[in-house]
A and B are shown apart, each in its own frame.
Chain A
């Protein structure tokens, strides 16, 4: 528990955390000090001047709140006419060379400048001279498009490439009102986290080529999720929209703050992984290539399982703990060996020392905890002997073509229960589409041993069944998450005390790992 201190804001006493600046300290108790350039991950810069406040202790009449540490007994003025006037004055200056065309700006609806204008300014423009014209639609690389004319020179993007990625592709060139953010000629953004500058930009100057002008943000439903792009388990916002009569579509992922896991940022690959939730989804059940109802496909799977002499069950390292447990229970009850072999999810050397991991699965730790066998040798031996492979959404050949294993699989009867089309669904006797991670809820444990819960977010018009439900229909004894957790708690000592409903928002550290925390 951090030390607390008491100070006064507009004469009212509030208790805040010590060691923070005024924006963060007072912001934590719900009092916002307007700011554009300050960001907790990037530190104070003090250039926007929106956060000027008065302190009644004899120091200079105005101080930037982003650079002023909260102190015991401090008396902060935010609501005096003088401070309000300064905020209006600074807003006016922010806006004189900024196009006031919010209805056509991609940032409209989530623009801090727009918000502050409504809260602190609300004046008509007094600008009766020509505006400074700056460039538009500049390709900065990595899918980042920059509109200089909207930029307020807060410098967050520049500081991000200097402080976080260390790549330094961006700079502010020129001075006075011709200053602008730019890249070095011929040296565009070239890092795997570049799209974070879009999230960081408080106005519509940095946009994602992928997202811009595809949706008005106020139509988007913004939910919380966990990225399943790799074993880091970064926290994300899933922004999606279900237009009338149309399907629920995810339009973007954005980073969600979690100091324990990913800080304030996510990688671009994870950010763009939303596409796989929309595209190339498996949606129809087939038996021997013929379209069938889900019930018929399930019936056929049951029959195949009962008739097979030596079936084998494979589960995905991306499945939730609950799903993995349900699959394991089904295997146990059916007397079938259950594997979680998934070396194909590992992309050697792809990870870095920040957020990106070699392991591109979200819950390999879950397989370990639930004690599902993952060794290649054991799986290959079992595969060679089996006459039926029942695969629960394991993309067996994801990054690893493994021709030898492909040849073995080619001679087997395959039942593919999957979210997406892949080699196994192409070769499956029975193919059953299932819900993907944005469509169901559950828990995953990341590489650092942090248990995180997530909820179903996307509801398709044609809803697909969850793996857990499939196991129940196939004769498993896990009918819902609650039942799964009863079993998990009794079988897994590390999870014996876990109440999934009480997992904190930032996750639960199951084991201490030096890499568990990120600084940003």
Chain B
């Protein structure tokens, strides 16, 4: 089931070094690239059906097309490597194992959008990744792939690695821009959208690492070769980080559209220790949970996930076995998002703290059925009332757990109905 497009060089020793990377085809697309008109590059990316791999899945080429023409201002590219979504660990493989694929993708994108200044925003905790990436960038400069004349062309590209200080919200595109500008990492109200007014008030494209790293394959092999993989609306491959209660957790590159359960069984070895599947978090902690029943029919693509009331997200799949205490999971989830709330806007700042305290009260045996109702209601009251979607990243999954595993919450409530599953009772004792 696995394919090797993005991960082609992952297992090659020292593929992070320019010499090795070049031996395996790195930067081989540049002659072709510079022979093409930028607009044709964009069209090729559109034709390939490449969707943003950060989580939202917006078509990359279409996003590039939103850049206004002839503003007289520079255009910036911000590569989002702030991989902070819990359960998501795909981009770091690219950063460490094949950073030149990312740099080559950056060159392709810059040519397409007319950009000369690139910021790679990378999460602060990724110390190894920063070192390896910076070394690769330095090599690329020395070899003339970056700098004043990229690959001998009259085209300048400068790349700056900007380390974040460890804030989840800085993965939100406008908070990322604020952070690069040296301000507190807080999101901006949209509109204006970054493509029109982004970094330093200039048109800016923000793409995820995996999105950019997908470009060399498309340029080398053409849009059709890319769209052979996946489904009609969800083309290509994706790096899936599978974790949780599976026998073989890890990072796997798969074409989009495969049945989830089949992937779990055949690729990840199935639920560990022979236990039953309780649920699956399909694309990072912010995506609503799928029950074991729902997991039977869902496929790994944007459309199927939406049809099942959840989201494709970042491809960070978490498998939950039958022993998982959903209430504790939700507490962990709320704790994370509350901690990461930047505190800018009221519903997120105040609401997530309230939710955290309610779930804590429930777990301490002090909660009531009314608290469960209130928790559920707060999800609705907070969601989509905020500047960015950080609070929704908490309320959407929490709502899904409350709706799909309600009996487990009720088991913790003081005046609970007699519907607690045995495992929850066991854990409480």
Contacts and interface: CB of A to CB of B under 8 A. Distances in A.
Interface in A435-473: none
B374 A44 contact: no
Interface string B327-358: 00000000000111111111101111110011
A179 B381 contact: no
A62 B343 contact: no
Interface residues of A, number: 34
Contacts of A50: 346
Interface string B384-427: 11110000000000000000000000000000000000000000
Contacts of A86: 385
B15 interface: no
B343 A49 contact: no
A508 interface: no
A97 to B, nearest CB: 6
Nearest to A67: B189
- Kindly name the residue among A46, A90, A126, A175 whose own CB sees the greatest number of chain B CB atoms within 10 A: A175
A127 B361 CA distance: 12
B382 interface: yes
A101 to B, nearest CB: 18
Contact of A62 (B352, B360, B385): B385
B353 A176 contact: yes
Interface residues on B, range: 20 to 34
B148 interface: no
B342 to A, nearest CB: 5
Contacts of B338: 176-177
A128 interface: yes
Contact of B343 (A93, A126, A176): A176
B357 A130 contact: yes
A60 to B, nearest CB: 8
A132 B341 CA distance: 15
A462 B270 CA distance: 93
Interface in A51-105: 52, 61-62, 64, 67, 86, 89-90, 92-94, 96-97
Interface string A101-134: 0000000000000000000000000111110100
A175 B348 CA distance: 11
A239 to B, nearest CB: 30
A139 to B, nearest CB: 23
A64 B347 CA distance: 13
A93 B354 contact: yes
A172 interface: yes
Interface string B375-386: 000000110111
A47 B354 contact: no
Nearest to B386: A49
Contact of A47 (B184, B344, B351, B352): B344
B253 interface: no
B354 A96 contact: yes
Contacts of B303: none
Interface in A307-325: none
B9 to A, nearest CB: 39
A214 interface: no
A126 B373 CA distance: 12
Contacts of A52: 385
A447 to B, nearest CB: 36
B247 interface: no
A93 B386 contact: no
Given A61-B384, A62-B385, A93-B382, A178 B343 contact: yes
A97 B381 contact: no
Contacts of A175: 167, 340-343
A174 interface: yes
B352 A176 contact: yes
B343 A172 contact: yes
Interface of B: 167, 184, 189, 338-347, 349-354, 357-358, 360-361, 371, 374, 381-382, 384-387
Closest 4 CB pairs of A and B: A179-B343, A129-B357, A177-B353, A89-B381
Interface of A: 44, 46-50, 52, 61-62, 64, 67, 86, 89-90, 92-94, 96-97, 126-130, 132, 152-153, 172, 174-179
Given A49-B387, A126-B374, 10 more contacts: A47-B344, A49-B345, A62-B384, A67-B189, A96-B350, A129-B357, A129-B361, A172-B343, A177-B341, A177-B349
